Amino acid sequence: MLYNLHTHSASNNHDVFEVVNRYPYEVIDVPYFSTGIHPWHIDIDRADEHLAIIEQRLQLLNCLALGECGLDKRIDIPLNIQIEVFEKQLLLAKKYQKPVILHLVAAFQELIEIKNRLQPGVPMIVHGYSKNAQVAKQLLDNGFYLSFGKYLLRNPELSAVFAGVPKDCFFLETDTIEEGIAEVYAKAALARNMDIEVLKSIVQNNFKNIFKNG
């Protein structure tokens, strides 16, 4: 079994366990999903409505995580609004004890400060990790997990960063790329110089530790 932490399109492959992203305004048409307000898609006039939908969905057994949600300094939506919406979602994750799948762009210090202040007490996974080993260490030291996919395939330098992540702290994903999760696994096994069956066992264990339904 291959485990895909984060994708926007279901593969319908019975050999893949995947957490499919479904925004509050999307229907739930997959076995397992995550739901949240992406910072790109904040509609301040509908934020309360979307948060209410998220709260309802977090109570479903097949809703495995809150997300993707987070902060992005490279978009036009003011950061203070992003933080307000993000913090409200984190409090819901805390209330319903669901892991959080994070979209983070250029706002790692803010993320760490918010986590330390709100103390959500749930696993928080930075998806689509693409930064250097120093940022990775800072996030890992602050209790975050890292998920790799697109940039592991696209950026050769990221293999060394991935290889340095403790084996109980990483996940693999496809997000919106054309490649399947099997290709991500192949690249990840190569980066860590390990047999793919060993890698599959590691990711499966990580999934079962974080997602109680996994």
pTM, full prediction = 0.96
CA separation for the pair 51, 49 (Å, rounded) = 5
Tens digit of pLDDT for each residue in 50-60?
Answer: 999 999 999 99
Residue position matching structure tokens 């492959």 = 13
How does residue 198 score in pLDDT terms, banded at 50, 70 and 90?
Answer: very high
How does residue 214 score in pLDDT terms, banded at 50, 70 and 90?
Answer: very low
Burial 33-54 (b: 16+ CB within 10 A, else e): bbbbbebeebeeeebeebbebb
pLDDT at position 3 over 90? yes
Domains of the chain: 2-210 (3.20.20.140)
Q: What is the average pLDDT across 6-17?
A: 95
pLDDT at position 212 over 90? no
CA separation for the pair 98, 100 (Å, rounded) = 7
Q: Are 202 and 167 in contact (CB under 8 A)?
A: yes
Annotated binding site for a divalent metal cation: 68, 103, 127, 175
* Average pLDDT along the chain: 96
How does residue 94 score in pLDDT terms, banded at 50, 70 and 90?
Answer: very high
How does residue 73 score in pLDDT terms, banded at 50, 70 and 90?
Answer: very high
Q: How many angstroms separate the Cα of 54 from the Cα of each of 40, 179, 186, 194?
A: 17, 29, 34, 39
Annotated binding site: 68, 103, 127, 175
Instruction: Copy the structure tokens of residue 10.
Output: 């279901």
**Amino acid symbol at 75:** I
Q: What is the average pLDDT across 4-20?
A: 96
- Cα 111 from chain centre: 14
